[in-house]
Amino acid sequence: MQPGTGPSYWQPVPANGHADPVLIPENTGFESLSMGFQTVAPRSRIREHSHGDQVELQICFRGKGRVMVDGVEHPLLPGTACFLGYDVKHEIINDADEELVMLWVISPPGLEDFFRAIGRQRVAGEPAPDPFQRPADVVAIERKMGMNDTAA
């Protein structure tokens, strides 16, 4: 499935892009992982965070940018794969003028729950919602979801 072709996706902030969880326990019946796409808008980022109880695989397949992994910068180009173990700090930065699209696989699942908690649901093909502030308790939501090393 291509990004934006799933049943719906969540518009998270501050990434200024959108998340498209595609294969999640709710629709696969498989409780060990989830998979989806993350689109980072031009000149935007996914702020630094880590996953305390999850491992994540990210594969860049469109656009370009950079990923900071435990403070070390790496280029992101189509075909770049990042394996992020437990508590590995990472930040995705799109400093280009085109969208950066990553495929993510996370185990155990739960990233889709984070997008639901902070985003606005929309159906593929709908226009993006008006900009909105992330929840005031975003750090508490992140901790509940097992994400660490973020700040408000």
Three-class DSSP labels, 34-63: EEEEEEECCCEEEEEEEECCCEEEEEEEEC
d(CA 104, CA 58): 4
Domains of the chain by range and CATH? 9-147 (2.60.120.10)
Mean pLDDT is lowest, of 24-28, 97-101, 148-152, for 148-152
pLDDT of res. 123: 65
Tokens 């508590």, located at residue? 87
Could you tell me the pLDDT band of residue 112, with boundaries at 50, 70 and 90? confident
Residue 64 main-chain phi, psi, to 5 deg: -150, 160
The average pLDDT across 114-138 equals 65
Note the pLDDT of residue 59.
97
Close Cβ partners of 80 (under 8 Å, ≥ 6 residues apart): 59, 60, 67, 74
CA–CA dist 75, 102 (Å, integer): 13
Q: Which helix (H) or strand (E) holds 122?
A: strand 120-122
Does residue 3 carry a pLDDT above 60? Answer: no
Model-wide pTM > 0.75: no
H-type alpha helices, the chain:
25-28, 111-118, 138-144
Model pLDDT, residue 13: 35
* 41-87 residue pLDDT tens: 888 888 888 988 999 999 999 999 999 999 999 999 999 999 999 99
